[in-house]
Every structure is written in C-alpha cells, then in structure tokens.
Amino acid sequence: MPNTHVVARRARALSDSIPFGDETSPWRYGDTTPWQEETASANSASQRHNENGIVYIIGGGPGDPGLITVKGLERLRQADVVLYDRLVAPELLSEASLHAELINVGKEPKRHRRSQDEINALLIEKAREGKSVARLKGGDPFVFGRGGEECQALAEAGIPYEVIPGVSSVIAVPAYAGIPVTQRGVTTSFTVIAGHTGGAEADVDWASIPRNGTIIFVMGVEHMPQIVLELISRGFSPETPAAVIEKGTTLNQVVVTATLADIVEKAAHLQPPSILIVGKVVRLHEELNWFNLEPSRRFV
C-alpha cells in the first residue's frame, strides 16, 4: 500500500478553526486541494491493486467537533461507511457524505450495542466489499479507545488501514477547565489511569503513582469513592486538590473542584462521561477558567 501519510505534511495551516458547512470555504465537502487530490489518487491506486477497501481509524476528539484534525475530517467526508461511537460529536456525523452508511456501534457502561468482536467483524466485512470505512472514535483511538485491537484484527484479515490520531480527553478536557496537566513550578509529570475499575483489586499499581504529579482518572466517576479511598490510604493528603469534569469541551461542561476529603460528596451529582483530576494544578482552575467565562470563544 502506498504511503499516503506524506500528504499530511503538506496540509495548509488553518486560521482558527475548520468551518463546518461553510459554503464559501475550500474545506466544504466536495472540494479538494492539491494535497487532497494526491491522497485520493494514492488511495485509488492502492485499491486497484487490492480488491479490499480501506479502514481509517479516526480520533474525533473529546466532544467539541472543532477539535477533530484536518486529516480526520477529510477521511470522514470521503468514507462510504462510518462506524461511530456513542460519544462522538453529532456535528461530525453531519460531515459524512449524504450517501455514506452510518452505523452506531457505541457502547454504554454495562450495555454494549455490539461486542468488540462484532465491531471488528463489521469493519472487515465492509472493507471486503471494497468500501472506504471510517471508524470514528471519541478522543484518540489509541488512548483507552481499543483502536489497537481493531488494527490487530484488520492486520490479521489482510485489510489495509490507517490510524489518524485525535485530541485526547486526557489533555483537552482539563484544558477546557483551565487546568494544565503540567505547569512549570508545579508539576512536570502526569499519570493517566482507567478508572472504570476502582479500588484495591483494580489492575493499578497504586504504590507507584507519583504524589507530586497530576493524576487523571478517565471513566472513573462511578468508582470515585474507591479511588479516593485508595489514594488517601496510600499516603495522599486529604487536602490534595481534586476536580471532576463532566461532559468536558461541550456547552454542557460542568466543573467541580474540591479536595480528596470532600470531592466525592461535592461531585456526587455528576454523571459519565466525566474525568477525575488530582493534583496541585487543579488550583489553577479559578484563574484559568477561560471556557466557562468566555462563551463567545467556544467553537462547539
């Protein structure tokens, strides 16, 4: 398969954002730039030598549709089939071709529309029909997105694929809450942990978590009491700053700040999707809370 990744290096810079549905924009669906035409040519040549189609594993970002990459949006617009997750911004689906087949394969906690094996099989089936398939995921496909598993299945089946990284909620959601995950003079490291299985029996090396860094628990709101108890029992001060952010980067974003001593009580009303952030950088929220203070700057 020809290397089409070189095209990304020729992408022209955009001023501030990608204009969704702007009729005057050269980025609207149906128009192409020279580097887009080269990409299409490379893909066509690839498919002439391979009866299969191709699968694009696309990171769609954490909620704000403006956070999808230029390349991700391009591939989405070109796709014949789009398999999308539950947390993908609805605005992105409207960017798909009018002729594209849209398939919801989203998963909810303890309730999966399709198993991962079924999703893998569907990707392979559609690609073997000679179609261009966009696997649209929230955030980044390789950060708790099971993108690696899907790539393994495609590789074993001999299906060409391309991974298009996305903006992860791990850094974007704190940023929209005015919480930098690192800050000179405060912390130089951050740790990311899947929080959907909390407590001592979880597959987490609690003892190795640095106390002077930022800790980000994704998918952890349901197990927050166990997570907080575990941290305090491992030597974290109850006065350690903590925050929970619900529906980050969207107009429905809610931020609750507290300490480990009272974050469970103060954030008890929040629901998934939420992330828990622990560390001194949380104190910067009040000063850097740009998103909630300036709605006119939101691109949602």
pLDDT tens-digit readout, 231-281: 999 999 999 999 999 999 999 999 999 999 999 999 999 999 999 999 999
Residues belonging to the active site:
85, 107, 219
pLDDT-derived band at 1 (thresholds 50, 70, 90) equals very low
Q: Secondary structure of the chain in the HEC alphabet?
A: CCCCHHHHHHCCCCCCCCCCCCCCCCCCCCCCCHHHHHHHHHHHHHHHCCCCCEEEEEECECCCHHHCCHHHHHHHHHCCEEEECCCCCHHHHCCCCCCCEEEECCEECCEECCCHHHHHHHHHHHHHCCCEEEEEECECCCCCCCHHHHHHHHHHHCCCEEEECCCCHHHHHHHHCCCCCCECCCECCEEEEECCCCCCCCCCCHHHCCCCCEEEEECCCCCHHHHHHHHHHCCCCCCCEEEEEECCCCCCCEEEEEECCCHHHHCCCCCCCEEEEECHHHHHHHHHCHHHHCHHHCCC
With both helix axes pointing from N to C terminus, report the angle between 34-48 and 70-78 in degrees, rounded to the nearest 10: 50
pLDDT at 217: 96
pLDDT, position 204: 86
Domain topology for 170-297: 3.30.950
Q: Which of 44-48, 220-224, 290-294 shows the lowest mean pLDDT across its residues?
A: 44-48
Q: Tell me the C-alpha distance between 2 and 21, whole Å.
A: 31
Which whole number is the average pLDDT over 284-288? 97
Q: In what order do the strands lie in the sheet with 241-246?
A: 190-194, 214-218, 274-278, 241-246, 254-259
Residue boundaries of the structural domains of the chain: 5-167, 170-297
Cα 212 to Cα 278: distance, rounded to the nearest angstrom: 10
What the block records as the tokens of 214 is: 């930022």
pLDDT band at 52 (very low <50, low <70, confident <90, very high): confident
In the numeric block, the tokens 């002077």 are attached to 212
Q: Is the pLDDT of residue 41 over 70?
A: no
Determine the topology of domain 5-167 in CATH: Cobalt-precorrin-4 Transmethylase; domain 1 (3.40.1010)
Give the span between the Cα atoms of 76 and 199, in whole angstroms.
39
In this prediction, residue 14 carries a pLDDT of 32
Residue 180 to residues 114, 176, 214, Cα–Cα distance (Å) = 36, 9, 9
pTM, two decimals, is 0.80
Average predicted confidence (pLDDT) for the chain: 84
Strands 132-137 and 241-246 come out as: unpaired
Give me the mean pLDDT over the 15-36 stretch.
43
pLDDT at 292: 75
How many Cβ atoms from other residues are within 10 Å of residue 160's Cβ? 18
Q: What does the pLDDT read at residue 79?
A: 98
21-25, 146-150, 217-221, 283-287: least confident range = 21-25
- Report the C-alpha gap between 104 and 221 in whole angstroms: 24
